[in-house]
Structure 1
Amino acid sequence: MLSLTWIDFLKLIPEEFILIWGICIISNKIISKKRHFIYCILIAIEVYVVRLLPIHFGVHIIINNIFTICLLIIAEISIDTAIYSTLLMTLLLVISEFFNMILLKIFNVNIGAQFKMPGLEALFMSPSLLIFILLIYLTKFLLEKKVGKINVSS
């Protein structure tokens, strides 16, 4: 079981907002702002609750992805697009957090000591959200470029 605080929950809301936004960007699906906000809150609550469960680390990611895919299907996104987009966003989120950890190492931040203080952990992990946004835009650009090449050669 992971140790969590209310600060961790507050960090989840913008993270899930960006995740749902990224899924909409990649899948070319538009959802209302109200539904977007509701989905973000639902996923943030689900992620928080799943992290409290006494399960092995990593299993929570599978549960979170299944929940997100189910919400996307409710949002009338096809199942294949929901699966593809959710897995892609999970990968981009992991990559962004990896790059954030590298940046912290470059700036000689003692990661172990900082992660014992919940407020500081949220602060030091915030740049990963910016990296996540950049990766979403980069992915969208690359996908559009790939589709453009396919259309030209057809």
Structure 2
Amino acid sequence: MNNRWTDQVVGERMTVDKEFTQDVIDSEFSNQEWNLIMSAVEFEIENPESPADARIVANTEKVATIVPELDDINAQMQAMGGAPGGGSRDRGSGGGGIVDSVKSALGMGGDGGEDEPDQERIDAASELAGRYGEELQAHLESKGRWAEICAVAAQAPTDDGP
């Protein structure tokens, strides 16, 4: 995979990051959680040989690996009395109060139920990252750089070995 194109869009990404701030605030993620999510996302260009058909896609395969860290961040934010800058949901990895305790005691919570919120968070993170990729592509197109970036992405990858 050739990701050399990402090195050439650092300035544009900084601009898109600023423009995307409201989307993050409106999401279920705090800014700190979003930064962690973005560290696990790789952006790729599908069909770079044809700029008209090409599009930026978010490879979110690694997002699942950071969900425990997202839970830790959320628990810390909740312990501090909220999640400033977004992430206002009440979904911690710790105990969920008396209702969850009763559900757990009745066998209605616990093992099976904990995977579902994680998948919901993975899906939400993936959807938000996908929107970010769309914004980045739109920005590159508006700056007249899309064809150039696609050409770089279409080049055969070099030996990335040590």
Q: TM-score, normalization: structure 1?
A: 0.36
Higher helix proportion: 1
TM-score (norm 2): 0.35
| Structure with the bigger percentage of strand | 2
The structure number with the bigger radius of gyration is 2
